[in-house]
Amino acid sequence: MAAPAIDRTCLILAAQTGDPVAIEGLLAACQTDARRYARRHCQASDVDDAVQESLLVVARRVRGLQAAAAFSSWLFTVIRRECQRLQRAMFRHDPLDEDVVERQLAARSDDALRIDLANALESLPAHYREVVLLRDFEELTIAEIAARLGEPPGAVKSRLHRARMLVREYLLG
C-alpha cells in the first residue's frame, strides 16, 4: 500500500519543478479524489466545474507548494473554495427589468427569435441543455427528470434554473 503514496509524492516533487508530464500525471492521479471531495461540498451541477477549475489552480500553483506532504489538504482547500465561489456566483446577478426584457424580445421577429433560441440552447453546456430539453420540450416533471438522470430533484431544479438564466442572458445579450 505504501507504493502509491510514494509514487504520488514523486509526482508532486516532479510537478513542483515544472515538469509538464509530471503535472499531467499528478492531475490524473488526484482527479478521482477531487471529484469525490467536490461531490460532498458542491451542488451536483457544480461538481464538474469545481473539479476542472481546481485542477487548473493546482497545475498553475503546484510550484509554490511548500511541502509535498501538504498536497492533499491543499487540494481539498482549493476545491472547497471553488465550490464556495460557484455557490456565491449562482446568486450574484442583477435582476432584469421585466418591461425591458419584454420590449427586447417583442422587437424580434418570430424567425429571429427561434434562431436565437436555438443558438442559445446550443451554447449551453450539455448538462444544462439536457435538463432544459427534458423539461421544456419533452415536458417531463422535475421528478421524472431526476429519476432519468439519477440525480436529486433539488439538483435538477437548480440546474434548470441556471440553464434558463443562461438562455435568458444569451437572448438579451
pTM over 0.75: no
Phi/psi at 95 (nearest 5 deg)? -65, 140
What one-character-per-residue DSSP string does 132-150 give? HIIIIIS---HHHHHHHHT
Indicate where the chain has its CATH 1.10.10.10 domain(s): 98-172
- In this prediction, residue 6 carries a pLDDT of 62
Identity at 65, one-letter amino acid code: L
The CATH architecture assigned to 2-90 reads: Orthogonal Bundle (1.10)
Could you give the count of Cα atoms lying within 13 Å of 61 in the half-sphere of its Cβ? 12
98-172: CATH number: 1.10.10.10
Per-residue pLDDT tens over the stretch 9-40:
898 999 999 999 999 999 999 999 999 999 99
